[in-house]
Structure 1
Amino acid sequence: MTQKPADITEIGGRVRAIRRRRGLGLDTAAGLAGISKGYLSLLENGRRRVDSRALLDRLADALGCSVVDLTGEPFVPAHRHSADALQAVPAVQLALADCSLDDVPDVPARPLADLAEPVHEAHRNYLDHARYDLAGAGLGSLLTDLHIHAATGAEPERQRALALLVEACIVAFGVTKNLGHPDLALQAAHRAHEAAKAAADPALLAFAGQRRAQALQRVGAFRRAGTVLEQALNNTQEFADPTAADTSAAEGVGLLHLAAAMNAARAGYVDRAHNHLAAAEELGARTGERNALGQHFGPANLGVWRISIGVELGDGAAAYDRASGGIDPATLASADRVAMMRADSARALAQEDGRRDEEAIRLLDSADRTAPARVRQDPVMRELLSTLGNRTRRRSWELASLRNRFGLN
């Protein structure tokens, strides 16, 4: 079928425009991105789509721009929950800019005892189910109050405030990243790390280190993400006892290994990716299903990560076939995790050059119905939908419905 060339509203069109502004020829830009000239030409003309985050990052690096320059984020919200959630972004930005761990506004804060439940609810009830509107409601004031307690409180209240601040910053990271504000997500992740370091808690350091690395990956800073992951593993690995009564440190270290596996996969280090994945799986086999700090570490979530890492390694369909049958959505107990399992499974099957596109469309449709605010704002999912639409040879109600829901018609 005839395909229209990508315009400036699509990633391929933005690649073409930025490459030309930089004065780069197709040969040079393709070489810098590690792809062929022909493939880059197909991307720029809308005949191929960016099918992995690794390729998106390599293109941004080759063109000397940020990932968001190519994706065009933040997008116009395609779901009312996302539109409502955007109201929280300015308050979160102000709280992180106006507070530090030793410099806070001279205003009264709510009692610390009144802050724990709202933080837990925002994280485990709302963020975990991709309800960014509810997770973000009041988040700015929560962050400010927790900073005040962390900066001025006496022990042991200060330790409790630091732990809650790590969790609140993880919420801020999730809300802002998934709404298309990766720079603010990076700031939230850095603050979580600072609070975890001040608390000197190995489990918090591991969880915050993973989020910090993910934030760096989101803006394409893979070298720095690798350094952060290596440092975090060095500082926490000795505390990772999967047989302890409290396995939270082991869960955190397992998540660090998963983030390191993803970082290696995107950089093309296949053996390193598999080694980190194996280390995480060894820990998960011994901890069983756990959920310290709402992170769902255990065999089920490991299966989701196997698929996601397989996609970045270009082995997505095989990874999906190996892992998908062993993942019980009820065990994950998280709309966010279930949606991303289905969405990345769709990406995996789309790597089969059209042979499994019908199944991929069904999975993407299911992912969107599970957590629409999460899926519709993801630039890679939007590219996937365009890829599936361009390749289809027959009309599909699900595909047409998806395009309408994503606001792509």
Structure 2
Amino acid sequence: MDHEQIGARLGTIRRRRGMSMAYAASQAGISKPYWSMLENGQRRFEKRGLLETLAGVLHCAVSDLTGEPYLPGDRESAEALATLPPISAALHDSTLDDVSRDLPVRPVDHLAGLAARANAASADSRYGLAGRALGDLLTELHVHAVTGNTDTRRAALRALTEACIVAIGTARTLGNNDLAAAAAQRAQDAAARLEDAALGGFAAMSASIVLGRMGARNGARRTISAALNAVSDADPDKADSAPAEAAGMLHLASAQLAAKSNDADTARTHLDLAAELADRTGERSTLHYDFGPANVQAWSLSLAVELGAGPERAEQITSRERYDSGLTSRERRAALHFDLARAYTQAEGARDNDAVRHLDLADQVAPLRIRHDPIAHEVLAELDMRARRRAWELDSLKARLRVG
């Protein structure tokens, strides 16, 4: 089982760090018996915040515990994973000041169109399509950003930021947080050169998610704080609501960080601020970030799960008719159904059928989004262990996620 493998890695790394179990547990803010149960595979790792905290205590990457990136289990996963090396090469081969000047490049408007199409594919969790030729696209946009005239440079920097956002989502979803962090930094640098606070806010929000996944919560908070300051006076009633959307997404990211640290009051404060902005902007989707009331509701569920209050919030959400209709991207719909599965799993067996149903829905909507998520593997393993009889739905999910 996945939790047993993670627990074994946890114990191995702790011992190699020369830490006693009691000391490691105290640093993580949990009891020694609980740490022992984690190492021995008697407790699961169903909260991202827990995995990030443990990695931080042991001074290792979360992927060192989870074993990411996972080997491809199907052709779609293999094609998506194959896009990562060219993306990495492009980001390390070019900078915003130095590029290879003898490379042939396509017109910047054409490249901007490709970046937008890649972003649309990423929002629908089609990461193989989104990342296909993304390395070449990144390289050519760098060339324009360095060698073009003023208008060309600005167009290239804007498209480069969007292409980097695609790279962030692809790499993060497939388990390569180091590459996602590199893409996030480049996106923020490009937006800074444009002096576009809204674009920088969206890039910073994505960067903070990656930093949080890496356990770098202080870095994530600094990133969010700086970006929020730049859009602090955003007017959600203006025709151009992008700055307010960026501010809202940054508040959601702040709420998530607080929830992972069990700071419910701070999480609620930022969630309320995001909700106030969303009520005024309505449903928007600048750069496919899908900010609006529906997404704020979805994030509220994710926060509740991290804070251990998932079942109650899940009931409130699902009691509403067409509760997922406002989410326009497949990635966001899958995330909502996945969090519903996580929430119902917290009901200690009373809502396992609902948990299985929502996990199956999430995988149908965005399989790559779910099959490469270690938390999804943990949730499925827990549901399988508690099952009183064999069920086709569980067996099918286990085969698709390669669990058990």
Same-fold status (TM-score > 0.5): yes
Match of 1:237 in 2: 232
Identity of matched residues, %: 46
Q: Which amino acid aligns with 1:105?
A: S
Give the deviation of 1:385 after TM superposition. Answer: 1.1
Match of 1:367 in 2: 362
Match of 2:114 in 1: 118
Is this contact kept in 2: 1:5–1:45, CA < 8 A? no
Structure 1 range deviating more: 306-315 or 387-396: 387-396
Unaligned runs of 5+ in 1: none
Give the deviation of 1:22 after TM superposition. Answer: 2.4
Distance 1:407 1:257, change over 3 A: same
Distance in 2 of aligned mates of 1:6 and 1:130: 26
Structure 1 range deviating more: 180-189 or 145-154: 145-154
Q: 1:310 aligns with which of 304, 314, 338?
A: 304
- Structure 1 stretches of at least 4 aligned residues deviating more than 3 Å after TM superposition: 4-7, 324-330
Match of 2:338 in 1: 343
Distance in 2 of aligned mates of 1:263 and 1:319: 19
Distance in 2 of aligned mates of 1:324 and 1:334: 19
1:80 aligns with 2:75: yes
Give the deviation of 1:6 after TM superposition. Answer: 5.8
Is this contact kept in 1: 2:288–2:329, CA < 8 A? no
1:51 aligns with 2:46: yes
Match of 2:273 in 1: 279
Distance in 1 of aligned mates of 2:57 and 2:109: 50
Distance in 1 of aligned mates of 2:313 and 2:182: 33
1:190 aligns with 2:185: yes
Q: 2:37 aligns with which of 39, 42, 46?
A: 42
Give the deviation of 1:28 after TM superposition. Answer: 2.0
Q: 1:289 aligns with which of 270, 279, 283?
A: 283
Q: 1:61 aligns with which of 52, 56, 61?
A: 56
Unaligned runs of 5+ in 2: none
Distance in 1 of aligned mates of 2:249 and 2:398: 34
1:213 aligns with 2:222: no
**Structure 1 vs Structure 2 CA RMSD:** 1.5
Q: Deviations over 1:12-33 (max 9, x none)?
A: 1211222222233332222221
Q: 1:377 aligns with which of 356, 372, 377?
A: 372
Is this contact kept in 2: 1:78–1:377, CA < 8 A? no
**What TM-score comes out, normalization by structure 1 length?**
0.95
Q: Which amino acid aligns with 2:389?
A: R
Match of 1:136 in 2: 131
Match of 2:218 in 1: 223
Q: Which amino acid aligns with 1:151?
A: V
Match of 1:247 in 2: 241
Q: Deviations over 1:290-342 (max 9, x none)?
A: 11111111111111111111111111112222234446434312111111101
Corresponding residue SS for 1:263? helix
Is this contact kept in 1: 2:46–2:378, CA < 8 A? yes
Distance in 1 of aligned mates of 2:267 and 2:2: 36
**What TM-score comes out, normalization by structure 2 length?**
0.96
Q: Deviations over 1:220-266 (max 9, x none)?
A: 1001101111111111211x111101101110110000001101111
Q: Which amino acid aligns with 1:398?
A: E
Match of 1:108 in 2: 104
Structure 1 range deviating more: 13-22 or 303-312: 13-22
Is this contact kept in 2: 1:346–1:360, CA < 8 A? yes
Match of 1:127 in 2: 122
Q: Deviations over 1:379-400 (max 9, x none)?
A: 1111111111122222222111
Corresponding residue SS for 1:156? helix
Match of 1:98 in 2: 93
